[in-house]
Amino acid sequence: MHTRLRTTRETVMTAEADPNAHTRMHSVSEETRSIVDLVLDYSRRRLLATDTPLDHASSPGELTRLAGRTISEEGIGASRALAAFEMVLAPACITTDHPQYLSFIPSAPSKAAMAFDLVVSASALYGGSWLEGSGAVHAENEVLTWLAGEFGLPAGAGGVFVQGGTIGNLSALVAARDTARRARTGAGLPARPEGGWAVVCSAEAHSSVKSAAEIMDVDVIAVPGGDTGSLSAAAVREALESDGERVFAVVATGGSTNFGIVDDIAGVAALKDDFDFWLHVDGAYGLTAMLSPLARHHFAGVERADSVIVDPHKWLFAPYDVCALIYRDPENGRLAHTQHAEYLDVLTEQAAYDPSDYSIQLTRRPRGLPLWFSLATYGAATYRDAVTHSIALARRIADEIERRPGFSLVRDPQLSVVVFERDGWSKADYERWSDQLLEDQQAFVVPSSHAGRTNARFAIVNPLTTFEQLTAILDSMK
């Protein structure tokens, strides 16, 4: 056993004495077995626990005081390191899969998906190339093809699982601009239009679209969403009529993060008959709702998209962090993203499907596999039921809010986000109430705001969230 603390001098002497010291971390030994057992035992307990509290953030000073110094020349051993995690660090992380975590967009990974994430790590899988990871890539691609079918995209649509929606939006927009550039140079025009490239989106589009535009050094033409907050075809037409040549892409949001409102995707898609642009649908949170008969109709027009994204770590019950990026014609992604280097030629010269060719990431874990395993295990119908449950619950609690004196809905929910106000409350009232909810470990509901007014917001994706839990939160707003 190597858990006894040693001085550096002793370690050096041991290293001299033990010619196999350099293999300690990798060989299978008694120590390795006990480390693996410890970690699997913890994972098993956490995965099957039904009473993990919400927990809350701590300060750096408090964490240093409680966890002590964990990094040293000699190491503290697995049992002490795991104890520091279990007793100090984990309780300082909010339990994002708690049924009463209702802020931002929560995460609600299925048990099968969480458990299989361990398998992905245990197998050291590489998902960047067919040569190295064909089995994993095959399974990921089956999921992407299934999703593309759900979204109404044609056969042949495909892409790659990337880290998150921000990378997905950026990768899609880079492919869109590359396609527009190729069209221009093919027609004998300069690669860049006069005035520079621009992307059109709703003023309520996700911040990552603006961030992508910033990175790409292109302009954002933000079109006001109107009363409903949804991007209208008429507003996009106006932008295209005045700036059309500069616009390489229009981003429609399939479920805004703040309200879960879907843009007029069908109307925007119809503009493709009159204008030349790449339609990207950012459905990081909301596109999953297409699985439910309660919401599918909101998404008419997605079938005409050139690219879409959806985050399985939001509403497709996968653990962090994963985004499905799907191109209508993956060749546009490949042309934009394939990296060329002498050491990579062996890959790029083969005709095989290399996931790395479809986004800005090269090295990647096959992060779509937890979703694949869960979908394969439970079947798509189980997903439809779970998604439908959240949409129905959002509708039901919205009705309850409308009915209650002293409460008002900010907007009618379309998907599973419900935004409401407590009449007469100031920002400080919301903050005091929200802090108290977390202190009581009842719920995690942080205040949000719209048009300068503070509000409260339920984002519901966890199938274990109940109507009674939500009404108890409303009751606490006194």
Ligand X SMILES: *Cc1c(COP(=O)(O)O)cnc(C)c1O
List of residues contacting ligand X (CB under 6 A): 105, 164-166, 169, 206, 208, 253, 257, 282, 284-285, 311, 323
* Min CB(310)–ligand X separation in Å: 9
Give the chain's end-to-end CA distance (angstroms, integer).
58
Q: How far apart are CA 412 and CA 424, in angstroms?
A: 20
* Min CB(281)–ligand X separation in Å: 10
- DSSP 3-state of 52: coil
Nearer to ligand X, 105 or 410 (CB): 105
Q: How far apart are CA 147 and CA 141, in angstroms?
A: 10
Nearer to ligand X, 316 or 474 (CB): 316
**Cβ pair 363, 128 in contact under 8 A:** yes
User: Residues 104, 105, 111, 113: is their CA dihedral positive or negative?
Assistant: negative
Residue with tokens 């064909």: 134
What pairs with residue 280 in β-bridges? 251, 307
At 135, the amino acid letter reads G
Nearer to ligand X, 208 or 307 (CB): 208
Quickly list DSSP for 109-164: --HHHHHHHHHHHHTT---S-HHHHHHHHHHHHHHHHHHHHHTTPPTT-EEEEES-
* Min CB(267)–ligand X separation in Å: 19
* Min CB(52)–ligand X separation in Å: 23
Cis peptide before 273 (omega within 30 of 0): no
Residue of minimal CB distance from ligand X?
Answer: 165
* Min CB(192)–ligand X separation in Å: 27
**Cβ pair 329, 335 in contact under 8 A:** no
Nearer to ligand X, 88 or 284 (CB): 284
Nearer to ligand X, 165 or 333 (CB): 165
**Cβ pair 277, 246 in contact under 8 A:** no
Nearer to ligand X, 207 or 426 (CB): 207
**Cβ pair 411, 260 in contact under 8 A:** no
Nearer to ligand X, 269 or 309 (CB): 309
Nearer to ligand X, 232 or 253 (CB): 253
DSSP run (H or E) holding 459: strand 453-459
* Min CB(318)–ligand X separation in Å: 11
* Min CB(228)–ligand X separation in Å: 16
Closest CA to 102 of 324, 296, 390: 390
* Min CB(206)–ligand X separation in Å: 3
User: Residues 145, 146, 151, 154: is their CA dihedral positive or negative?
Assistant: positive
Q: Which two tokens stand for residue 207?
A: 């911040």
% helix, strand, coil for the chain, step of 5: 50, 10, 40
Nearer to ligand X, 78 or 250 (CB): 250
* Min CB(336)–ligand X separation in Å: 19
